[in-house]
A = this chain, B = another copy of it.
Amino acid sequence: MDNSSGVGVLDKAAAVLAALEGTPLTLAGLVEATGLPRPTAHRLACALEYHRFVARDLSGRFMLGPRLRELAAVTGEDRLLTSASSVLVTLRDASGESAQLYRRQGDQRICVAAAERMTGLRDSVPVGAALTMQAGSAAQVLLAWEDADRLHRAVNGATFTAVTLAQVRRRGWAHSVGEREPGVASVSAPVRAPDGRVLAAVSVSGPIERLTRVPGPRYAEAVVKAAAQLTAALAVVD
Protein backbone atom coordinates (compact mmCIF):
# COMPACT_ATOMS: atom_id res chain seq x y z
CA MET A 1 0.00 0.00 0.00
CA ASP A 2 1.75 3.13 -1.25
CA ASN A 3 0.35 6.08 0.66
CA SER A 4 3.19 8.53 0.09
CA SER A 5 3.53 11.23 -2.51
CA GLY A 6 7.28 10.80 -2.50
CA VAL A 7 7.75 13.92 -0.39
CA GLY A 8 7.30 13.11 3.26
CA VAL A 9 6.96 16.69 4.46
CA LEU A 10 4.07 17.27 2.10
CA ASP A 11 2.41 14.03 3.23
CA LYS A 12 2.64 15.25 6.82
CA ALA A 13 1.38 18.73 5.96
CA ALA A 14 -1.56 17.22 4.10
CA ALA A 15 -2.30 15.10 7.19
CA VAL A 16 -2.29 18.22 9.36
CA LEU A 17 -4.73 19.97 7.03
CA ALA A 18 -6.93 16.88 6.90
CA ALA A 19 -6.99 16.72 10.71
CA LEU A 20 -8.14 20.33 10.87
CA GLU A 21 -10.90 19.60 8.37
CA GLY A 22 -13.06 18.19 11.16
CA THR A 23 -12.69 20.90 13.81
CA PRO A 24 -10.14 23.35 15.15
CA LEU A 25 -7.57 21.52 17.27
CA THR A 26 -5.08 22.25 20.03
CA LEU A 27 -1.55 21.10 19.41
CA ALA A 28 -2.33 18.09 21.61
CA GLY A 29 -5.38 17.35 19.48
CA LEU A 30 -3.26 17.64 16.33
CA VAL A 31 -0.73 15.20 17.79
CA GLU A 32 -3.48 12.73 18.53
CA ALA A 33 -5.20 13.14 15.16
CA THR A 34 -2.06 12.90 13.03
CA GLY A 35 0.16 10.62 15.11
CA LEU A 36 3.05 13.03 14.54
CA PRO A 37 5.43 13.78 17.43
CA ARG A 38 4.59 17.04 19.16
CA PRO A 39 7.51 19.16 17.93
CA THR A 40 6.92 17.99 14.36
CA ALA A 41 3.21 18.73 14.47
CA HIS A 42 3.97 22.11 16.05
CA ARG A 43 6.58 23.04 13.49
CA LEU A 44 4.46 22.04 10.50
CA ALA A 45 1.34 23.73 11.83
CA CYS A 46 3.30 26.94 12.45
CA ALA A 47 4.84 26.79 8.98
CA LEU A 48 1.40 26.33 7.47
CA GLU A 49 0.23 29.22 9.65
CA TYR A 50 3.06 31.39 8.26
CA HIS A 51 1.73 30.71 4.75
CA ARG A 52 -1.88 31.23 5.97
CA PHE A 53 -3.03 27.72 5.11
CA VAL A 54 -3.65 27.44 8.85
CA ALA A 55 -4.92 30.09 11.29
CA ARG A 56 -5.45 30.31 15.06
CA ASP A 57 -8.81 30.84 16.72
CA LEU A 58 -9.37 32.99 19.82
CA SER A 59 -8.32 30.24 22.20
CA GLY A 60 -5.17 29.50 20.21
CA ARG A 61 -6.37 26.36 18.49
CA PHE A 62 -5.22 25.68 14.96
CA MET A 63 -7.86 25.93 12.26
CA LEU A 64 -7.84 26.00 8.46
CA GLY A 65 -6.71 29.36 7.13
CA PRO A 66 -7.81 32.01 4.59
CA ARG A 67 -5.24 31.10 1.93
CA LEU A 68 -7.29 28.00 1.17
CA ARG A 69 -10.26 30.15 0.35
CA GLU A 70 -8.17 32.44 -1.86
CA LEU A 71 -6.77 29.52 -3.84
CA ALA A 72 -10.13 27.75 -4.00
CA ALA A 73 -11.66 30.82 -5.59
CA VAL A 74 -9.19 30.38 -8.44
CA THR A 75 -10.14 26.73 -8.97
CA GLY A 76 -13.71 27.87 -9.20
CA GLU A 77 -12.78 30.35 -11.89
CA ASP A 78 -10.90 27.80 -13.99
CA ARG A 79 -13.81 25.44 -13.84
CA LEU A 80 -16.18 28.29 -14.55
CA LEU A 81 -14.39 29.25 -17.74
CA THR A 82 -14.04 25.62 -18.82
CA SER A 83 -17.79 25.14 -18.56
CA ALA A 84 -18.86 28.57 -19.77
CA SER A 85 -18.37 28.21 -23.51
CA SER A 86 -20.77 25.34 -24.13
CA VAL A 87 -23.36 26.69 -21.68
CA LEU A 88 -23.30 30.12 -23.32
CA VAL A 89 -23.56 28.62 -26.83
CA THR A 90 -26.58 26.62 -25.72
CA LEU A 91 -28.13 29.71 -24.17
CA ARG A 92 -27.48 31.75 -27.31
CA ASP A 93 -29.12 29.10 -29.49
CA ALA A 94 -32.08 28.70 -27.13
CA SER A 95 -32.70 32.44 -26.86
CA GLY A 96 -31.62 33.58 -30.29
CA GLU A 97 -29.66 36.40 -28.64
CA SER A 98 -26.08 37.04 -27.58
CA ALA A 99 -25.04 35.54 -24.23
CA GLN A 100 -22.27 36.66 -21.88
CA LEU A 101 -20.70 35.72 -18.56
CA TYR A 102 -19.57 38.56 -16.26
CA ARG A 103 -17.35 38.59 -13.19
CA ARG A 104 -17.03 41.51 -10.84
CA GLN A 105 -13.62 43.16 -10.63
CA GLY A 106 -13.46 46.13 -8.26
CA ASP A 107 -16.04 48.67 -9.39
CA GLN A 108 -16.39 47.18 -12.86
CA ARG A 109 -17.66 44.00 -14.38
CA ILE A 110 -15.57 42.07 -16.88
CA CYS A 111 -16.96 39.96 -19.69
CA VAL A 112 -15.08 36.69 -19.19
CA ALA A 113 -16.88 34.61 -21.82
CA ALA A 114 -19.37 35.24 -24.60
CA ALA A 115 -21.35 33.59 -27.40
CA GLU A 116 -22.75 36.07 -29.94
CA ARG A 117 -25.79 35.92 -32.13
CA MET A 118 -24.48 35.35 -35.59
CA THR A 119 -26.49 37.65 -37.78
CA GLY A 120 -28.12 41.02 -37.85
CA LEU A 121 -28.76 43.48 -35.05
CA ARG A 122 -27.21 42.24 -31.77
CA ASP A 123 -25.50 43.37 -28.60
CA SER A 124 -21.79 42.73 -29.02
CA VAL A 125 -19.66 42.53 -25.87
CA PRO A 126 -16.12 41.28 -26.49
CA VAL A 127 -14.42 39.00 -23.96
CA GLY A 128 -12.29 41.20 -21.72
CA ALA A 129 -14.56 44.20 -22.03
CA ALA A 130 -15.01 46.16 -18.79
CA LEU A 131 -18.49 47.53 -18.15
CA THR A 132 -20.10 49.63 -15.42
CA MET A 133 -21.40 48.22 -12.18
CA GLN A 134 -23.94 51.04 -11.98
CA ALA A 135 -26.30 49.91 -14.72
CA GLY A 136 -27.51 46.74 -16.37
CA SER A 137 -29.07 43.49 -15.25
CA ALA A 138 -25.70 41.76 -14.78
CA ALA A 139 -24.58 44.52 -12.41
CA GLN A 140 -27.82 44.07 -10.48
CA VAL A 141 -27.18 40.34 -10.14
CA LEU A 142 -23.56 40.83 -9.08
CA LEU A 143 -24.73 43.26 -6.36
CA ALA A 144 -28.08 41.90 -5.13
CA TRP A 145 -26.62 39.39 -2.67
CA GLU A 146 -23.87 41.58 -1.24
CA ASP A 147 -24.08 42.55 2.43
CA ALA A 148 -26.17 45.59 3.33
CA ASP A 149 -23.25 47.99 3.69
CA ARG A 150 -21.71 47.18 0.35
CA LEU A 151 -25.08 47.03 -1.32
CA HIS A 152 -26.05 50.51 -0.24
CA ARG A 153 -22.65 51.92 -1.11
CA ALA A 154 -22.91 50.42 -4.59
CA VAL A 155 -26.46 51.63 -5.21
CA ASN A 156 -25.34 55.18 -4.56
CA GLY A 157 -25.02 56.60 -8.10
CA ALA A 158 -26.51 53.57 -9.84
CA THR A 159 -29.50 53.72 -12.14
CA PHE A 160 -31.25 51.01 -10.10
CA THR A 161 -32.35 51.12 -6.46
CA ALA A 162 -32.11 48.88 -3.40
CA VAL A 163 -35.76 48.03 -3.99
CA THR A 164 -34.86 46.74 -7.45
CA LEU A 165 -32.12 44.57 -5.92
CA ALA A 166 -34.58 43.18 -3.35
CA GLN A 167 -36.79 42.19 -6.26
CA VAL A 168 -33.83 40.52 -7.95
CA ARG A 169 -33.17 38.48 -4.80
CA ARG A 170 -36.80 37.45 -4.59
CA ARG A 171 -37.16 36.52 -8.27
CA GLY A 172 -33.73 35.00 -8.68
CA TRP A 173 -33.01 36.98 -11.86
CA ALA A 174 -32.74 40.58 -13.08
CA HIS A 175 -33.67 42.49 -16.18
CA SER A 176 -32.79 45.87 -17.63
CA VAL A 177 -34.06 47.97 -20.51
CA GLY A 178 -31.87 50.71 -21.95
CA GLU A 179 -29.99 50.95 -18.62
CA ARG A 180 -26.40 50.39 -19.63
CA GLU A 181 -26.79 51.37 -23.27
CA PRO A 182 -29.75 52.93 -25.08
CA GLY A 183 -31.67 50.39 -27.13
CA VAL A 184 -30.27 47.35 -25.32
CA ALA A 185 -32.31 45.05 -23.07
CA SER A 186 -30.99 42.17 -21.02
CA VAL A 187 -31.83 39.43 -18.50
CA SER A 188 -29.27 38.05 -16.02
CA ALA A 189 -29.07 35.37 -13.33
CA PRO A 190 -26.44 34.50 -10.67
CA VAL A 191 -23.83 31.76 -10.88
CA ARG A 192 -22.95 30.63 -7.36
CA ALA A 193 -19.83 29.11 -5.85
CA PRO A 194 -20.21 25.97 -3.69
CA ASP A 195 -20.36 28.12 -0.57
CA GLY A 196 -23.32 30.05 -1.97
CA ARG A 197 -21.58 33.30 -2.84
CA VAL A 198 -22.47 34.87 -6.17
CA LEU A 199 -19.42 34.36 -8.36
CA ALA A 200 -20.62 35.58 -11.75
CA ALA A 201 -23.62 36.69 -13.75
CA VAL A 202 -24.80 34.99 -16.90
CA SER A 203 -26.72 37.26 -19.29
CA VAL A 204 -28.69 37.40 -22.48
CA SER A 205 -28.72 40.78 -24.19
CA GLY A 206 -29.98 42.29 -27.43
CA PRO A 207 -31.96 45.12 -29.01
CA ILE A 208 -35.15 46.29 -27.32
CA GLU A 209 -36.92 45.79 -30.67
CA ARG A 210 -36.62 42.03 -30.22
CA LEU A 211 -36.37 41.61 -26.46
CA THR A 212 -39.15 44.17 -25.81
CA ARG A 213 -39.47 46.39 -22.77
CA VAL A 214 -40.42 43.36 -20.65
CA PRO A 215 -37.80 40.74 -21.52
CA GLY A 216 -38.21 38.63 -18.36
CA PRO A 217 -41.11 36.34 -19.33
CA ARG A 218 -39.41 35.28 -22.56
CA TYR A 219 -35.80 34.89 -21.40
CA ALA A 220 -35.58 34.44 -17.62
CA GLU A 221 -36.19 30.71 -17.61
CA ALA A 222 -33.38 29.95 -20.04
CA VAL A 223 -30.98 32.34 -18.31
CA VAL A 224 -31.71 30.90 -14.85
CA LYS A 225 -31.23 27.42 -16.29
CA ALA A 226 -27.84 28.34 -17.76
CA ALA A 227 -26.77 29.88 -14.44
CA ALA A 228 -27.86 26.73 -12.64
CA GLN A 229 -25.81 24.62 -15.03
CA LEU A 230 -22.70 26.66 -14.32
CA THR A 231 -23.44 26.61 -10.60
CA ALA A 232 -23.75 22.81 -10.80
CA ALA A 233 -20.47 22.56 -12.71
CA LEU A 234 -18.77 24.40 -9.86
CA ALA A 235 -20.30 22.10 -7.27
CA VAL A 236 -19.06 18.86 -8.83
CA VAL A 237 -16.51 17.03 -6.65
CA ASP A 238 -13.76 15.39 -8.70
A residues whose Cβ falls under 8 Å from a Cβ of B? 5-7, 9-11, 13-14, 17, 20-25, 29, 32, 43-44, 46-48, 50-53, 55, 57-58, 63-66, 68-76, 78, 81-82, 103, 105, 110, 112, 127-128, 145, 147, 194-197, 237-238
Contacts and interface: CB of A to CB of B under 8 A. Distances in A.
Contact of A10 (B48, B58, B105): B48
Contacts of A24: 78, 81
Given A10-B48, A10-B51, A196-B194, A71 B74 contact: no
Choose among A9, A58, A68, A145 the residue with the greatest number of B CB atoms under 10 Å from its CB.
Answer: A68
Contacts of A51: 5, 10-11, 14
Contact of A110 (B13, B22, B72, B103): B22
Interface centre among A29, A53, A71 (most CB of B within 10 A): A71
A75 B71 CA distance: 12
Number of copies: 2
A179 B7 CA distance: 46
A44 B11 CA distance: 11
Nearest to A49: B5
A5 B81 contact: no
Contact of A66 (B7, B25, B197, B237): B237
17 contacts: A5-B48, A5-B50, A6-B46, A6-B47, A7-B43, A7-B44, A7-B47, A17-B71, A22-B103, A22-B105, A22-B110, A23-B81, A23-B127, A29-B127, A69-B72, A73-B194, A197-B238
